[in-house]
Amino acid sequence: MNDSYSNYLRPIFTQNLIQTLQQGHSINLIAQDGQGRRRLVEDIKNSRLKETKVILIDMKLYKECYDSFIQVLWQQLEKTGEDPADFGQLIAQLNNDDSIIVILHHFDDLLDNLRIDNRFNIAFFDELNRLGNQPKYSLLCVTSQPHDQSMVFINKKPYRRSWLELEKKRLPKLTYEELLFELKFRHFPLTIDDLSQVAWAVHNHAKPYSLLNYFANKIETQENQSIDIQSQLKMWTEQFQKERDSFFQDGKKSDFF
Give the full edge-to-edge strand order of the sheet including 167-170: 52-58, 99-105, 137-143, 27-30, 167-170
Q: Are the C-beta atoms of residues 236 and 215 closer than 8 Å to each other? A: yes
pLDDT reported for residue 257: 47
Directed axis angle between helix 192-203 and helix 176-185, to 10°?
A: 130
Half-sphere exposure of 21 (CA within 13 A, CB side): 27
Measured CA to CA, the distance from residue 212 to residue 206 in angstroms comes to: 11
pLDDT digits (tens, 9 = 90+) for 215-252: 999 988 875 566 689 999 999 999 999 998 876 655 55
pTM of this structure: 0.91
pLDDT reported for residue 106: 98
pLDDT digits (tens, 9 = 90+) for 135-161: 899 999 999 999 999 999 999 999 999
Measured CA to CA, the distance from residue 225 to residue 252 in angstroms comes to: 33
Closest CA to 195 of 204, 185, 205: 185
**Percent share of the chain, pLDDT over 70:** 91
Q: Is 6 helix (H, G, I), strand (E, B) or coil?
A: helix
The per-residue pLDDT of the chain, averaged, comes to: 91
- Regions in the chain scoring below 70 on pLDDT: 1-6, 96-97, 223-227, 247-257
Closest CA to 139 of 110, 174, 105: 105
Q: At the top level of CATH, which class does the domain 3-170 belong to?
A: alpha beta
